[in-house]
Structure 1
Amino acid sequence: MAEFMTETELRSPVVPCPGTAEERWGRADDAGPLEGHEAAALLECTRAVVDPELHAALESLPGAMRRIALYHFGRQHADGTPATGDAGKAIRPALVLAAAAALGGPAARTAAVRAAVAVELVHNVTLLHDDVMDRDTSRRHRPTAWTVFGVTDAILAGDALQALALRLLAEDPHPAAGPAAARLADCVVELCAGQYTDTNLERGAPEGVTLAEVLAMAEARTGALLGCACALGALYAGAGPGDVAALDGFGRQAGLAFQLIDDVIGIWGDPRHTGKPAGADLAARKKSLPVVAALSTGTEAAAELAELYGTPCVAGDTEGVALAALAVERAGGRDWAQAEAADRMARAVQELSRAVPDPEAAGGLLMLAEFVTRRGS
C-alpha cells in the first residue's frame, strides 16, 4: 500500500522566497506541479506575508503575556533573549490566503492577511492549552510553555492570544471582518466542545469508545479550524453562502485527513523529526484514530491492545510501547488510517470543486492539501 508523506518530508527544506509579498505569491501561484518543495515555498511565502502583522500583535501584549507568547512562537528564549525557533508550518493562515485568492484573486488575498493572522493565533491558543491538558513537555523541539512558565501563565497567555485574534478582526475595516469574527468565535466554541469530548473519551474504557465518536471529535478539534480558515478566505473574497460552505467542507475533510496522518505519526513517527519520544501517544494511552480503529476489529490483536491499554504505561517502558504499536498495526489500525485519510481527501476535493471548478484557480488549496497528505510510491 502507498504510504503517506513522512514527517521528514513534511519538514522538507523551505525554498527561499525573496521579493515583495505579491511577487512571492505570484511565483507560488505559478508553481506548476503539486510538489512538496513548491508547497513549502508557498508556506514560506505565507510566513513572510503574515509574520509582520503577527509580530505586531504579539508585541502589543503586556510584558508577562508577551514574553510567554514570544517564547511559544519561537521568537525568544525562556530568558527573554532573541531566538529563531520553529514557529510551525503556517498551514492554516496559508489556507486563508489561498482560499481568498481562489475566489477573489490577489486583491482578496492581500485583504485577508489579518484574518490569516487571527486564525494562526487561535491555532496557537489550542496548542498552548492542549499542552497543559495533555501534559506534553515538548513542542517544536523545545520545552512547552507550561513547563517553563507554569500552568496558570500558559493558560492566560492562550487566553490573551484568543483576545488578540478577535481584536484583529474587530479593528479590520473590511466588510467581511464582522462575519469572519462571528465565524471564528463559533469555531472556538466547536473546538472547546471537541476538546471536552476528547477529554471524556480518554477517561473511558478503551472498548467503550466508538470510531464514529472519535471521528466526530477529530472533526471538531482539527477539521473545524481548517474549515474555518478556508471559509474566512472565501468571506474576504466576497463569496456567497454556498461557496463559503463548500470551502468550509473542503477544510474540514482535509483536516480529518491531516489528523489521521498526525495520529499515524504520533505512533510511528521519528522522534528526530516529531520532537517527541517514539510512540508518545501510545505511552500516554491516547485513543487516537488508528488505536480506536484497531480496537474495533474484534481481532486477537485488538484484544491484546485492549489489555495493554487497560494498564498504565510505566515511564521508560519502550517494550510495552513497541508491543502496543505492533498490536495496532496487526489489527489493521495503520492501514485503516491511511485508507481513511485518502477517502477524506477525495471528499475534500469534491467539496472544493463545488466552489472552485477551475483546477488552476484552486491550485494553492490543492497544493496545501497535497502537501500534508502526499503519497510516495
Structure 2
Amino acid sequence: MATPDVFPHAVPAAEAYEALAVARGRVDPALRSAVDTLPEDMRRIARYQFGWTDEHGLPSDASGGKALRPALTLLAAEAVGGSTDAALPAAVAVELVHNFSLLHDDLIDTDATRRHRPTAWTVFGSEAAILAGDALLSLASGVLADSGNPAALAGVRLLNDTVQELVQGQATDLAFEQRGDVDVDGCQRMAEAKTAALLAAACELGALFAGAEPRRVEHLRRFGHDLGLAFQHVDDLLGIWGDPETTGKSAYSDLHARKKTLPVVFALNSDTTAGQRLATHYHQPSTSEVALTDIADLVDAAGGRAWSHAQTDRLLARALGHLEAAAPTARTHELTALAHLVTRRDH
C-alpha cells in the first residue's frame, strides 16, 4: 500500500470546513427528526446538547460540533459509489453515539464547559445527563434498525461493538489516572478504543450502507482508525497547550485531572531527567496555574510534545494510504481535506 507524503497544511482548510458544513446541513434535519421521538425530558436535554436550544428550551445558535463523524460516513459512502440518502441513517447514528459519549464523558471528567457553554450535566443535573446519554445510545440503534438498508443488521452489530470499545476505552482511561505504570503501548490501545473506534466505525458504516465490497470497506475502516488515533494525539496536545478560546475547555484541563494522555505517558516513560521530574510531580495534586505550567514544560522537555507531533504525521500518512487503497471513485479530495484538518495543531 502506498504511503503518500504528508504536508499538513497542503490542503486548504476552507475546503474541509465546506465539507463539514454540507454534512451538517444534510444530517441535521434527520437528526432533529430522530431526537423529536425521544420522551419530553430527554428531548429537552438532547436539543441543548446539540446546540439547538438554550437551557430554557428557547432556540439557540450555539455550536453543535464539527459533525466530523457524520461527514466521514456520508463521504465514505459516496467514495465507493453510494448515495448520501442511503448512508444518512448511519451518519445520524454515529452522531447520536458521539454525543452519548460526550454527555457521559463530561460528567465523568467533571468538565464544566463544552463548545463554549456549560455542559449539559451542569445545567440539568448529573442523573438527567446520564439518562439523556442512554436515550441517545438507544436511539442510535433504532435509527439503524429502522433504516431499511440491507446492511442495517450488520450496522447495528458494528455500532454495538464500537460502543463496547468506547466504554472499555473510557474505563481504561479512568483506571490510568490511578496508576503509575502506564506504558506507551497501553496508552495507545486505550486511545484506539476511546477515540479511533468511532471514527473507524463512521467510515465503515458509510461504506457498508453503500454496499461496497469487503476490501474497500476494510480500507475505509482503517482510514478512519488511523485518522482517529491521529485525532487523539492532536486532542491531547490541545488539552495541554491549546488556547481555551479555541478549544472551548479550560487551560491545562488534562493536566489538572492528571490524565495519562499520549504525550504525558511518552514523557513519563522517556527515561530523561525531565521525565523523572514529571513522574515525581504528576501524582501530587496541585491546581495552581504555575504548577500546571511547570508540568506542561516538563512534558515538552521530556519529548512528549515532539513525539505526538511525529505520531500525528505518521498516522495521517498511513490513513491517506488506506484511503488511496480503497480506490475511491468520488470525494477523495474532501476526505483528504478532512484528514488534514483534524490533524492540524492550531484548532
Q: What letter corresponds to residue 341 of structure 2 in structure 1? A: F
- Once the two structures are superposed, the pairs formed by residues 1-377 of structure 1 within 5 Å of their partners are 34-105=11-82, 108-205=83-180, 208-314=181-287, 317-356=288-327, 361-374=331-344
Q: TM-score when scaled to structure 2?
A: 0.95
Q: Is the 8 A contact 1:4 1:338 kept in 2?
A: no
**Using the alignment, how far apart are the partners of 2:11 and 2:154 within structure 1?**
32
Q: What letter corresponds to residue 143 of structure 1 in structure 2? A: P
Q: What letter corresponds to residue 340 of structure 1 in structure 2? A: Q
Aligned-residue offset at 1:300: 0.9
Query: Displaced runs of 4+ in structure 1, greater than 6 A?
Result: 2-5
Q: Could you say what secondary structure the match of 2:187 adopts?
A: helix
Distance 1:134 1:374, change over 3 A: closer
Aligned-residue offset at 1:81: 1.5
**Using the alignment, how far apart are the partners of 1:318 and 1:362 within structure 2?**
44
Q: Is the 8 A contact 1:121 1:165 kept in 2?
A: yes
Deviation readout 1:325-350 (Å, 9 max, x if unpaired): 10011111100000001111111122
**Using the alignment, how far apart are the partners of 1:142 and 1:75 within structure 2?**
13
Q: Is the 8 A contact 2:234 2:345 kept in 1?
A: no
Unaligned runs of 5+ in 2: 1-5
Q: What letter corresponds to residue 298 of structure 2 in structure 1? A: A
**Using the alignment, how far apart are the partners of 1:142 and 1:342 within structure 2?**
32
Q: Is the 8 A contact 2:80 2:328 kept in 1?
A: no
Aligned-pair identity (%): 50
**Using the alignment, how far apart are the partners of 2:332 and 2:327 within structure 1?**
6
Distance 1:3 1:234, change over 3 A: closer
2:3 is aligned to: none
Aligned-residue offset at 1:375: 7.3
Q: Is the 8 A contact 2:75 2:331 kept in 1?
A: no
Aligned-residue offset at 1:94: 0.3
Q: Is the 8 A contact 1:102 1:361 kept in 2?
A: yes
**Using the alignment, how far apart are the partners of 1:230 and 1:334 within structure 2?**
29
Q: What letter corresponds to residue 343 of structure 2 in structure 1? A: T
Q: Is the 8 A contact 1:202 1:286 kept in 2?
A: yes
Aligned-residue offset at 1:116: 0.3
Q: What letter corresponds to residue 213 of structure 1 in structure 2? A: G
Q: What letter corresponds to residue 209 of structure 1 in structure 2? A: V
Q: TM-score when scaled to structure 1?
A: 0.87
| Structure 1 range deviating more: 169-178 or 262-271 | 169-178
Q: Could you say what secondary structure the match of 1:203 adopts?
A: coil
Q: Is the 8 A contact 1:3 1:375 kept in 2?
A: no
**Using the alignment, how far apart are the partners of 1:178 and 1:366 within structure 2?**
30
| Structure 1 range deviating more: 334-343 or 344-353 | 344-353
Distance 1:100 1:3, change over 3 A: closer
> RMSD in angstroms over aligned alpha carbons?
1.7
Aligned-residue offset at 1:313: 1.9
**Using the alignment, how far apart are the partners of 1:332 and 1:149 within structure 2?**
41
Q: Is the 8 A contact 1:267 1:279 kept in 2?
A: yes
Q: Could you say what secondary structure the match of 1:287 adopts?
A: coil
Q: Is the 8 A contact 1:3 1:338 kept in 2?
A: no
**Using the alignment, how far apart are the partners of 1:338 and 1:187 within structure 2?**
27
Q: Is the 8 A contact 1:284 1:313 kept in 2?
A: no
**Using the alignment, how far apart are the partners of 1:236 and 1:199 within structure 2?**
34
Q: Could you say what secondary structure the match of 1:175 adopts?
A: coil
Unaligned runs of 5+ in 1: 6-32
Aligned-residue offset at 1:363: 2.1
Q: What letter corresponds to residue 201 of structure 1 in structure 2? A: F
Aligned-residue offset at 1:79: 1.5
